[in-house]
Amino acid sequence: MSATTSSFSTLGVPAPLVAILTNQGIDSPFPIQVDTLPDTLGGRDVLGRGKTGSGKTLAFSLPMVARLGGKLAGGKRRPGRPLGLILAPTRELATQITAALTPLAEAYGLNTTTIFGGVSQGRQVQALKAGVDIVVACPGRLEDLMKQGFVNLDSVEITVLDEADHMADLGFLPVVTRILDKTPKGGQRLLFSATLDNGVDKIVRRFLNNEVLHSVDEATSHVSAMTHHVFEVDGTDSKKALVQKLASGSGRRILFMRTKHQAKKLAKSLTDSGIPSVDLHGNLSQVARDRNLAAFSAGTVKVLVATDVAARGVHVDDIELVIHVDPPAEHKAYLHRSGRTARAGSAGDVVTVVLPEQKRDTDALLKKAAIKVTPQRVTANSPAVDALVGDVAAYVKPVPRVEQPQGQSQGGRSQGANAQRKRVNRDDRDNGRGGRDAGGRGGRSNDVAPAGNRHERTDRPAASGRSHAPQGNGGGRSAQGSGRTGGLQVGGLVRGGGGASGARRSSPRRAQG
């Protein structure tokens, strides 16, 4: 069955869920949904393989809600004993899943909770005690709450492991194995992964029974609507001018850097030059990360400068350009970074900026990623660059001049500005304490990658027992979630936080968790 001849109804999705999808403008299923839904709705274990942005979130959210929807009819919800469990490697991905899942679950009276490390566990514990049907969790904090007796998985009927390969990359598979061991052996299990290496195959063999494999795309496949460019420059000065020109377009764009320091530095440099930008990396507090993502999602700023923390799990609609300012270290990172654009059938461009000494490594990386592209030697004024930028004048804004009140200057910064910065930092401390849970134990978040995998902490979890999630997309499509966002939403409208505050760049402080 192909996506052109199928509908969600013909695939067996119940009418209440079809109605919600229709209201969200989602009418036609994607190939991975077409392939997997008949089996998942029928209760089969499924191993799904598909590229980023292929629609995996709806592929497992729909059957989970449909199958659990009738379980509570006439029954009683039991505290700390969920019926459905979704494991995700990062806080960003978990919030995206929750946002797509929540409106579907509400159609059947099911409630959802997100569980992350890095913040107080108080609200998470409260939600579990009140009774929750579906838990979306990062593995470290979930295991901690299990050990404390706040959650028991003996009633879980459906378990989903999303982005299992990323779990492996972060070193989380031992924790995942211990968690899956606590779920009933007869339950349905769905595993979605781009690849089956680094131990993912062992999880499949141990926990999936008579599974059906659906591989929509090869592990290294890329989106056909994505156009790749390799721009070679003569040196660092030429690179700086090129990057500034590429960042100056009118549409949303993500610039990827190797290190947290360079991401922060570039975002500040672009903003100072009249291109409002925000950064996203592991050194930012939870408050700062949410604020910056909210500003980018709402369109208050059009440029996000990020490390690989944004390569997975951060889904923002209508990103027209991804720029590898620093080429990634390996081909999987290239594909995941690039996958932030050309999602859900939209087109997008990917640019890799290459210095002379990076040419050989970049050629090898693209070959492994199965990307065929002819490098172009360019400057900031080359026609190929102009074609990607469009109307620069429509977006680049002059930097406003701040008048210093006479007699109140402090080292070139007004007292008011210093007071504002202190307030921002105090907010970060109050709301983004990583590494401390409700029990008062210090130390690092349980959802931070183990030693040896800490080049970039991609799971700086945050969040709550309630659905404080950004509105996300079900596999790349917009899903209007009803959970509170705390000011973070993907795809347009910002609720609960506002874009104005998001536009202000904070002073990132070193994270504690």
Contact 280, 309 (CB under 8 A): yes
d(CA 454, CA 312): 16
Query: Is residue 228 pLDDT above 60, yes or no?
Result: yes
Output the pLDDT for position 311. Answer: 63
**What pLDDT, on a 0 to 100 scale, did the predictor assign at position 293?**
84
Q: Are 445 and 434 in contact (CB under 8 A)?
A: yes
| pTM > 0.85 | no
Going by DSSP bridges, is the β-strand pair 409-410/413-414 parallel, antiparallel, or unpaired? antiparallel
Residue 318: what pLDDT? 73
| For residue 458, pLDDT beyond 70 | no
* pLDDT, position 252: 87
User: What is the distance between the alpha carbons of residues 413 and 487, in angstroms, rounded to a whole number?
Assistant: 29
pLDDT band, residue 52 (cuts 50/70/90): low
pLDDT value for 240: 94
Q: What 3-state DSSP class applies to 220?
A: coil
For range 351-373, the mean pLDDT: 91
Contact 63, 45 (CB under 8 A): no
pLDDT band, very low/low/confident/very high, at 375 (cuts 50, 70, 90)? very high
- pLDDT of 64: 96
Structure tokens at 359: 């040419």
Pairwise pLDDT comparison (326 vs 477), residue with the higher score: 326
User: How confident is residue 71, by pLDDT bands cut at 50, 70 and 90?
Assistant: low
Q: Residue range 338-350: average pLDDT?
A: 68
Q: Pick 184 or 346 by higher pLDDT.
A: 184
Quick one: tokens of 186?
């007869």
SS3 341: coil
Please report the pLDDT score of residue 53 as a whole number. 61
Mean pLDDT of the chain: 75
CATH numbers and ranges of domains, the chain: 226-394 (3.40.50.300)
What is the H or E stretch that residue 278 is in? Answer: strand 277-280
Q: Which residue has the higher pLDDT, 34 or 513?
A: 34
Residue 224 has pLDDT above 60, yes or no: no
Q: How much is the pLDDT for 166?
A: 83
Residue 219 vs residues 168, 194, 300, 332, 400: alpha-carbon distances, Å: 15, 5, 35, 9, 47
Q: Which amino acid is at 309?
A: V
CB contact at 8 A, 180 and 203: yes
Query: pLDDT-based confidence at 314, cuts 50/70/90?
Result: low
Asked whether 306 and 281 are in contact (CB, 8 A), the reply is yes
Residue 6 has pLDDT above 60, yes or no: yes
Which of 55-69, 329-343, 488-502 is the most confident on average? 55-69
Residue 223 pLDDT: 45
What's the residue count for the chain?
513
pLDDT of residue 435: 37
Given pLDDT bands bounded at 50, 70 and 90, which one contains residue 51? low
Per-residue pLDDT, averaged over 344-364, amounts to 85
Amino acid at 403: E
What pLDDT does residue 288 have?
A: 85
- Inter-residue contact 422 to 282 (CB < 8 Å): no
How many whole angstroms separate alpha carbon 113 and alpha carbon 23? Answer: 24
201 vs 341, more confident: 201
Enter the tokens of residue 95: 């919030």
pLDDT tier for residue 455 given thresholds of 50, 70 and 90: very low
> With bands split at pLDDT 50, 70 and 90, how would you rate the model's confidence at 290?
confident
User: 276: which DSSP letter?
Assistant: -
pLDDT tens for 376-424 read 999 999 999 988 886 443 344 444 443 434 444 334 344 444 444 443 3
Residue 487: strand, helix, or coil: coil
What share of the chain in percent tops pLDDT 70? 68
Give the confidence band of 346 by pLDDT, cuts at 50, 70, 90. Answer: low
Q: Give whichever of 75-79, 236-240, 386-390 has the largest mean pLDDT.
A: 236-240
Write down the pLDDT at residue 468. 41
pLDDT at 504 over 90: no
Question: Which residue has better confidence, 89 or 341?
Answer: 89
Is pLDDT larger for residue 197 or for residue 110? 110
Chain centre to alpha carbon of residue 190: 20
pLDDT at 355 over 60: yes
- Tokens standing for residue 243: 């990057």
| 456 token code pair | 């970039």
Task: Give the pLDDT confidence score for residue 320 in this predicted structure.
Answer: 84
Strands, DSSP E only, in 176-246? 188-192, 212-215, 226-232
Where would I find the beta strands (DSSP E) of 193-270?
212-215, 226-232, 252-256
Q: Is pLDDT larger for residue 510 or for residue 362?
A: 362
pLDDT score for 235: 93
HSE at residue 249, side-chain half, CA atoms within 13 A, is 23
Beta partners for residue 188, in sequence order: 158
Confidence grade of residue 55 (pLDDT, cut at 50, 70, 90): confident
Question: Could you tell me what percent of the chain has a pLDDT over 90?
Answer: 44
What's the pLDDT score for residue 493? 33
